[in-house]
Amino acid sequence: MSGLALLDYASVLVFALTGALVASRAQLDLVGFAFIACLTAVGGGTVRDLLLDRHPVFWVGQPDYILIAVGAAVLVFFTAHLVESRYNWLVWLDSFALSVAVAAGTGAALSLNQSGVIVVLMGVSTGCLGGLMRDVVCNEVPLVLKQGELYVSCAFVGAFTAVVATRLGVEPLAALGLCALVCWALRAGSLLFGWQLPVYKARPPRR
From the number of C-beta atoms within 10 Å of its C-beta (0-12, 13-18, 19+), residue 115 rates as exposed
Give CA 50 to chain center in angstroms.
17
Residue 189 beta carbon to a copy of itself: minimum distance, rounded to whole angstroms: 15
Residue 200 binding a copy of itself, by CB under 8 A: yes
Choose, by CB under 8 A, the member of 68, 80, 176, 180 that binds a copy of itself. Answer: 80
Smallest distance, a copy of itself to C-beta of residue 33, A = 7
Give the DSSP per-residue string, 33-65: HHHHHHHHHHHHHHHHHHHTT-SS-HHHH-THH
Q: Quick one: which of 114, 164, 185, 191 contacts a copy of itself (CB under 8 A)?
A: 114
Does position 121 bind a copy of itself by CB under 8 A? yes
Residue nearer to a copy of itself on the CB measure, 129 or 175? 129
Residues 129-158, one symbol each (x = binds a copy of itself by CB under 8 A, - = not), give ---x---xxxx-xx-xx-x--xxxx--x--
Taking Cα atoms as reference points, which of 119, 128, 18 lies closest to residue 69? 18
Which amino acid is residue 183, in one-letter code? Answer: C
Counting contacts by CB under 8 A, is residue 160 touching a copy of itself? no
- Does 168 bind a copy of itself (CB under 8 A)? Our answer is no
Asked if residue 58 binds a copy of itself (CB under 8 A), the reply is: no
- Cis ω on the peptide bond leading into residue 56 (within 30° of 0)? yes
Size of the site for a copy of itself (CB under 8 A): 64
81 lies in the binding site for a copy of itself (CB under 8 A):
yes
SS (H, E, C) 168-192: CCCCHHHHHHHHHHHHHHHHHHHHH
Q: Which of 193, 200 has the CB closer to a copy of itself?
A: 200
In angstroms, the CA 188 to CA 154 distance is 10
Report the distance separating Cα 15 and Cα 111, nearest Å.
Answer: 23
- Per CB under 8 A, 23 contacts a copy of itself: yes
**Cα-Cα-Cα-Cα dihedral sign, residues 38, 151, 46, 134:** positive
- Contact set with a copy of itself (CB under 8 A): 23-24, 26-35, 38, 46, 50-53, 55-57, 60, 63, 66-67, 77, 80-84, 86, 114-115, 117-118, 121, 124, 128, 132, 136-139, 141-142, 144-145, 147, 150-153, 156, 196-203, 205-206
